[in-house]
Structure 1
Amino acid sequence: MTLPSVDAPVGDGVEVLKVPDFRRLWAANGFRYAASEVAGFALPVTALILLHAPPLVMSLIFVCSRVGFLVMGLPAGVWIDRWRKKPVLIWADVAYAVAFGSVPVAYFLDVLTVAQLTLVALVVSLAGVFFDVAHSSVLPYVLPRRRVADGNARLQTSETTIQAISPSVAGVLAQSIAAPVLYCFVAVCHLTSVLLLRRIHPNGDIARGKAESGRKFRREISDGIAILFKQPLLRLLLNQAALNNIGAGIILAMLPVFLLKEIGIAPWMFGLLSTLGALAGLAASLLAPKLRRRFGEIRMTLLFSALAPFAVLAAPLAGVFRSAAVPLIALAEILIGIAIVGRSVSTAGLRARVTPNEYMGRVTAAYSVVVQGATPLGALAGGLIANQWSTGTALWVGGLAMGVPLILLLLSPLRRYRTLPAEWEV
C-alpha cells in the first residue's frame, strides 16, 4: 500500500502519521522536545547547585529563557509569513545545538558561569521564537486544514510522553554525572532534528518576498494583531492564557528554588515530580480527544481552563506545610499536567480553523508575544517577591494570579457554545 503524501488529499479516516512529511516533522519535534525537557531540568540544577545562584538571579535566567517573544515575536511573524518555513526550522535547530553545546565545553574548561547560562537561555529563547512560529505555520502546508487538529493531538501526545520520561532519566543521570554534561545529549538531539527536517517538503510553502506583499512592515504586523483581537475565540484564548501565564511564570521560576534549595530534595526527586505531572498530562492527552468529540472543543476548553487555578493551590500550600511538601507538590504537578495538556488538546486546531494561511505566522507570533511574554514578566515578579519576602509568598501570589482567568471565562458569552460556530471558520 502506498502511503499518502501531501500532494494527494488526506481523508478523515487516514492516520496522520502515515503522511511522510508529517511523520518526519513529528519525529523532529520529538527530538527537539526531548532536548527541551533535559535542558529544562539541567538549567536550574546547574545554576542552583553548581553555581549557587540566588532566587533573584534564577528569576532573571528564567526571564531570559522566555523573553524571546517579547523581543522578537511580532517581526518574526511577518518574516516567517514571507519566508519558507523549512529553512527557518533548520537554522533555529542549529542555533539551539550551538548554544547548548557551549555549556559542557565551558564546564570541561572550568569557565562556566551564571552569565553564560543567562546568555544561553537568551539565545535559545530567540531561536525558539522562530522555531515555534514556523512550526505552527508549516502544519497547514503538511496536512489539510481540517486535519491540523489531529496532527496537533499527535504532537501533544508524543510531547507529554517524552516529558514523562526525560526529567526522571535526567535526574537519575545527574546523580552520577554533572548536570552540564547533559547538554551534550541536548545538542545531539537538535542535530538529529535538523537531519529529519531536511527531508520534509511542505506543499505550497513558498517565499512571498517583500516585493510580492506590496505592504509596509508595520502594516503587516498590525494586520496579524487585528485578526487576533477581532476574532472572538482568539481573543478569549489570548486573554485567558496571558493572565494564566503570569501566575505560571511566578510558580515555574520559584518552584525549583523552593524544592532544591529550601526543602533540599535530591535532583532525582525533582525529576520524578516533573515526571508525575507529565504522566498525568499523557493520560489527559489520550482522554481529551474523546471528550472533545463528545462534549465539544469549546466546552472542554472552558472545563480544563477552569481546573488550572485549583490545581496550583497545592504549590503554595507546600510552603506552609513543609513536612508534606513533596506529596503536595506531587499533587500540584499531577493536576497541572491534566489541566494544561487537556486544554491544549481541546483547543488543538482551533486557531488554524479561524485564521487564513497567509496570516498564520503573524497571528501565531502576535498570540505568542502576549501569551509567552506574560511568563517572563511573572517570573521577574516572582523573583522580586521572593527577594523581598519569601519563595512561599511568591508561590501564593502565583496561585492567586492563575485564578483571575476563571472569572473571565465565567463572564464570557462563549461559554454557551459547545463547538466552534461554522461562520467563524475560514
Structure 2
Amino acid sequence: MPVDTPEADVEVLRIPGFRRLWIANAFRDVGAEVAAFALPITAALLLHAHPIQMSLLTAGSRIGYPLLGLPAGVWVDRWDKRAVLIGADLGFLLALASIPIAYMAGVLSLPLLVAVTAVTSVCGVFFDIGHSSVLPLLLPRTRVADANARLQTTDQTVRAVAPSVAGALAQTIAAPLLYAVTATSHLLSLLFLTRLRPAPVPVAARQHRHFRREVADGLSTVIRHPLLRLLCLQAALNNIGAGILLTLMPLFLLRIIGIPAWLFGVLTTVGAVSGVLASLVGPRLRRRYGEIRMTVIFSALFPLGVLAAPLAAVFPRAAVPLAATAEILINFVAVGRSISTAGLRARVTPTTHMGRVSAAYGVVSQGATPIGALLAGLIASTWSITGGLWIGVAEMAVPALLLLRSPLRTRRTLPAEWEARDDSA
C-alpha cells in the first residue's frame, strides 16, 4: 500500500501529505484563475487580437500534451514526484513573471503571450502527471476520488473568488500586471510542495527499462482497458468542442456583446459557485448512484449545459443571463464528471504505470483542445463567431451519444475484474 492502512477511513484533509498538496494546489489555482482572466482581456482588448490570433493563444495553452505528454509520462514514472511538481511550479513562476516585466518595459506582444502560454502548458503537463502520480503515494488508492472531490471544491471556490477580484483590480491596473499575482501564487505553492514526503515508488517502477517500450505501455494500457479507452475517446471528442468554445466565447462577450472586464470576471465566478456545489454533492451522488452511472448521467448532460452559450448570440438582449446559465451548467456538469472519472482512472491503473497512463490519456484528450481552438479561428474568420459557437455545441453532443450507446449504460459501479490488483510493472 502507498500509505498506511489506518488512514484508509480518515478524512483526507487530515492526512498530512495530502493536506500539503491541497494547500499548494490552492495557491496554484489562484495563479491559474487570475492568469485565465487576464489572458483574454490582455489579448482581445489591449493587443486587439483577431480570431486566428486568439485561436493560437488557446492552442498554445493546450500544446503541452501533444508535444511532450508521452515522454513526460515515462519520465515522471522514473523521477521523484516531489521534484517534478517543484520543477513545474518553478517554470510557471518564471514564465508568468515575464509578462508584467515585458509590459512595464513596453515590449509586450502577442507572440510573447503565445510563447508564455506554450511554456506554461508544458509545465502544466509535468505538474498534472506528477499530481496524478503522487496522489496514490500520499493516500490509499480507494481514497483518490474523495481527495479529488476536495481538490475540486478548492478549485471551484478559487474560481468563484479570483476572477471577480481580478476583474475589480483590472478597473485600476492594466491586465498584464495581474500576472504578478500569478507569479506570487506559484511561489507560495512552491513552499508547500517542498514539504511533501510521498511514499517511495515500488522498486519495479524505478528500474531502468526501454524508453519506447514504456511509452508504448502507457498507450497500450489506455487502448486495451475498455473503461480507459472509452473515457479517453469521449474526453477527446468533448475537448474539440471545448476548444471551440474557449476560443470564441471571450471574443463574443468582450467584442460583440461588449461586456466590461469586471462583468467577464463575474460570469466566471457564477459558474465557479456551481462548480463548488458539484464538488460538495459529487461524492454523495457517486455513492448513491455508483461511479459508472454518475459518469454516464453527467456526460449526457454536457451538451445541454453548453447549449446556452450560442443561444446568447440568438438573443443578444439576454446574452449576459444566458452566458451565466451556460457557465453554471457547464461547471456543474464538468466538475461532477471529473469527480467520477478521476477515481475510476486511479482504480484501474497500476501505481507503477500511473504517470505513463496519465500522460497517454492526456495526449489524446487534452491534445484535442488545440484542434478545436484552431478550428474555431478558421470558422470565425471564414464564417462567423456565432456560427462557430453552434458548431462547438453540436460537436460536444457526439461523445455523450457515444457513452449512452456503450455497454456501460447498464452498469452502476466498476466491475471487480477491471480493478488494478498490484503495483508490479
CA distance in 1, matches of 2:296, 2:169: 39
CA distance in 2, matches of 1:256, 1:158: 24
Report what 1:43 is aligned to.
Answer: 39
Report what 1:197 is aligned to.
Answer: 193
* 1:339-378 equivalences in 2 (<5 Å): 339-378=333-372
CA distance in 2, matches of 1:338, 1:174: 27
1:120 aligns with 2:116: yes
1:300 Cα offset (Å): 0.7
CA distance in 2, matches of 1:283, 1:229: 33
Please tell me the residue identity of whatever aligns with 2:191. L
1:302 aligns with 2:296: yes
* Per-residue deviation, residues 84-108 of structure 1 (Å, max 9, x unmatched): 1111100110110000000111111
Report what 1:104 is aligned to.
Answer: 100
* Per-residue deviation, residues 114-141 of structure 1 (Å, max 9, x unmatched): 1111110110011111110011001111
1:205 Cα offset (Å): 3.6
Mark the CA change 1:207 to 1:81 in structure 2 (over 3 Å): closer, same or farther: farther
Report what 1:213 is aligned to.
Answer: 208
1:348 Cα offset (Å): 3.1
Report what 1:92 is aligned to.
Answer: 88
Report what 1:324 is aligned to.
Answer: 318
1:146 Cα offset (Å): 1.3
Percentage of identical aligned residues: 59
SS of 1:299 mapped into structure 2: helix
1:415 Cα offset (Å): 1.0
1:288 aligns with 2:282: yes
1:315 aligns with 2:309: yes
Q: Indicate which of 329, 332, 339 corresponds to 1:335.
A: 329
Report what 2:387 is aligned to.
Answer: 393
Mark the CA change 1:7 to 1:221 in structure 2 (over 3 Å): closer, same or farther: closer
Q: Which runs of 5+ in 1 are unaligned?
A: 1-5
CA distance in 1, matches of 2:205, 2:308: 50
Report what 1:3 is aligned to.
Answer: none
**Alignment TM-score, normalising by the size of structure 2:** 0.96
Mark the CA change 1:323 to 1:421 in structure 2 (over 3 Å): closer, same or farther: same
Mark the CA change 1:289 to 1:316 in structure 2 (over 3 Å): closer, same or farther: same
CA distance in 2, matches of 1:213, 1:416: 42
Please tell me the residue identity of whatever aligns with 1:213. H
CA contact (8 A) 1:83 1:207 kept: no
CA distance in 1, matches of 2:203, 2:161: 38
Report what 2:220 is aligned to.
Answer: 226
CA contact (8 A) 1:81 1:208 kept: no
Report what 1:57 is aligned to.
Answer: 53
CA contact (8 A) 2:145 2:340 kept: no
Please tell me the residue identity of whatever aligns with 1:84. D
1:393 Cα offset (Å): 0.6
**Alignment TM-score, normalising by the size of structure 1:** 0.96
CA contact (8 A) 1:83 1:206 kept: no
1:305 Cα offset (Å): 0.6
1:168 aligns with 2:164: yes
Please tell me the residue identity of whatever aligns with 2:276. L
CA contact (8 A) 1:85 1:205 kept: no
Report what 2:241 is aligned to.
Answer: 247
1:415 aligns with 2:409: yes
CA distance in 2, matches of 1:322, 1:380: 26
1:238 Cα offset (Å): 0.7
CA distance in 2, matches of 1:203, 1:209: 13
CA distance in 1, matches of 2:271, 2:205: 43
* 1:271-286 equivalences in 2 (<5 Å): 271-286=265-280
CA contact (8 A) 2:157 2:276 kept: yes
1:207 Cα offset (Å): 8.6
1:424 aligns with 2:418: yes
Mark the CA change 1:206 to 1:85 in structure 2 (over 3 Å): closer, same or farther: farther
CA distance in 2, matches of 1:10, 1:236: 34
Say which is worse superposed, 11-20 or 381-390, in terms of deviation: 11-20
* Per-residue deviation, residues 263-283 of structure 1 (Å, max 9, x unmatched): 110001001111111111111
Mark the CA change 1:10 to 1:44 in structure 2 (over 3 Å): closer, same or farther: farther
1:9 aligns with 2:5: yes
Mark the CA change 1:176 to 1:71 in structure 2 (over 3 Å): closer, same or farther: same
CA distance in 2, matches of 1:259, 1:415: 37
CA distance in 1, matches of 2:235, 2:211: 27
* Per-residue deviation, residues 49-74 of structure 1 (Å, max 9, x unmatched): 11111111011011001111000000
CA contact (8 A) 1:146 1:353 kept: yes
Q: Which runs of 5+ in 2 are unaligned?
A: 421-425
CA distance in 2, matches of 1:241, 1:7: 30
CA distance in 2, matches of 1:9, 1:192: 31
CA contact (8 A) 2:91 2:120 kept: yes
Q: Indicate which of 140, 144, 148 corresponds to 1:152.
A: 148
Report what 1:138 is aligned to.
Answer: 134
1:152 Cα offset (Å): 1.1
CA contact (8 A) 2:8 2:139 kept: no
CA contact (8 A) 2:20 2:195 kept: yes
Say which is worse superposed, 347-356 or 10-19, in terms of deviation: 10-19
CA contact (8 A) 2:202 2:352 kept: no
CA distance in 2, matches of 1:348, 1:234: 11
1:402 Cα offset (Å): 0.3
RMSD: 1.3
SS of 1:348 mapped into structure 2: helix
1:204 Cα offset (Å): 1.1
CA contact (8 A) 1:249 1:378 kept: yes
